[in-house]
Amino acid sequence: MTNQYNDDDLKSPLKNELAKNLPLQGMSRAKTLLPFLPFSRTTLHEWSRDGRFPKSVRLSPTMVAWRNSEVLEWLENHSNPVNNAQENANE
């Protein structure tokens, strides 16, 4: 399966501004995170499972959430062109 999303989608100034509204501490469910992300709920869960996005934490048998600090760090790393160039050079 090819990745239809690229890091250019993450450089949106609007998404970066929205991410500033996400609390540094605590956890958020998918519906809270999706406005900050350039991909769908399905991709969020797939990427969490395969390591391309922070791993979710199971809160109950039917509920998962993500640590806000890890999501914000991921957004910062994927919206900074310098970090992206360094990651690509290391691969």
pLDDT tens figures, 52-84: 999 999 999 999 999 999 999 999 888 766 544
What is the model's pLDDT at position 44?
97
Between helix 68-79 and helix 81-90 the angle, nearest 10°, is: 90
Q: Give pLDDT tens digits for 9-54.
A: 545 554 555 566 888 899 999 999 999 898 999 999 999 999 999 9
Q: d(Cα 52, Cα 41) in Å, to the nearest integer? A: 14
User: What does the pLDDT read at residue 48?
Assistant: 97
- 3-state SS of the chain: helix, strand, coil percent to 5? 55, 10, 30
What was the pLDDT predicted at 15? 55
pLDDT of residue 1: 47
